Amino acid sequence: MRVGIICAIPDEIKYYELRPNSAQKLGGRTFFKSQETERELIVVECGLGKVNAALVSSLLIHEFECKLLIFSGVAGGIDPELGIGEVVIGEYLIQYDYGALNDGELQVYRAGSIPMGPLKNEVEFALDPEIKQKIKAALPEIRMGTILTGDVFLQCGETRKTLFEKFGAQAIDMEGAAVAQVAEQFGIPAIVVRCLSDLAGANGQKLSSTFLNSAAESSFQTVQTILKVLR
């Protein structure tokens, strides 16, 4: 099974062993092969945001015929019980900035649905149940939870608190739910693995390069375990 690995920034992709002579450019992005013993990985740095994530997700599926997408990277923490360095796997992914704005209040709808009238579906994209079971069996201590996705780099303690109260989420990123949405459209599973590199502005805390690198490596190591589980 060919697997597409997506990272947003150089700090995340640098842990993957890429074949220099395998580079293929499409849509302004460079895709690399990274060979494992039992499967071929196609690895790409997508850049920040939902559009970039959706772009490379579509290319990985349509052009490279990947049957599974995995996002590997860092995120901001939302849940006050979680600390920097904890890994969260997206059991549910929500595009929290998609919906209808009425009287200053955003009603979140499922991304891709018409944001009008009563909610007809759950707003989240869910992790494949079979994959979820396999990961839990191999990584019983791993945290699975809700990851929020939006085109905003959150560094605001008040907004962090509001989002946690509204969604009960564990982490926030800028790409994950877009990857899940594209994968669902093509009928394949997606896994979003995030390690907390910061606490999204809690108590004035800012992103540190030290935390960024260690979190990116932890996410990479978790992905390696998942790849072994899904053989």
d(CA 61, CA 127): 18
Instruction: Measure the N-to-C terminal CA separation of the chain; round to a whole number of Å.
Output: 8
User: Is residue 173 annotated as a catalytic residue, yes or no?
Assistant: no
CA distances from 9 to 43, 53, 73, 105, 178 (A): 12, 11, 8, 32, 16
Q: Which of 45, 79, 86, 198 is catalytic?
A: 198
User: Do the Cβ atoms of 63 and 75 come closer than 8 Å?
Assistant: no
Q: Which of 12, 79, 86, 124 is catalytic?
A: 12
User: Do the Cβ atoms of 174 and 54 come closer than 8 Å?
Assistant: no
Residue 192: how many other CB atoms lie within 10 Å = 30
- State which H helix or E strand residue 180 sits in: helix 176-186
d(CA 172, CA 153): 9
CA distances from 203 to 19, 79, 116, 146 (A): 42, 13, 36, 22
d(CA 19, CA 32): 6
- State which H helix or E strand residue 60 sits in: helix 50-62
User: Is residue 198 annotated as a catalytic residue, yes or no?
Assistant: yes
The catalytic residues are 12, 198
